[in-house]
Amino acid sequence: MSGRLARETRASVDVLSADEVPGGGRQVVNKVTIEIEGAEKPAAVAETVVRVYS
């Protein structure tokens, strides 16, 4: 097993916005950050966009 895989990882999610959209739904934009223990920079940072209709 790679030493990198043996390190602990952590993911955090921040909600950047949650807005109403036409048709009675909501659009939520999240920022997801994945960090590896001991690394100087995050392993990944992404924004996700989700639309929910009920």
Question: Which long-range contacts does 12-20 make (Cβ < 8 Å, 24+ apart)?
Answer: 16/47
Instruction: Tell me the mean pLDDT per 10 residues along the chain, length 54.
Output: 69 98 96 95 97 93
pLDDT for position 4:
55
Contact yes or no for 30/11 (Cβ under 8 A): no
Question: What pLDDT does residue 54 have?
Answer: 85
- The reported pLDDT for the residue numbered 7 is 77
What is the reported pLDDT for 42? 96
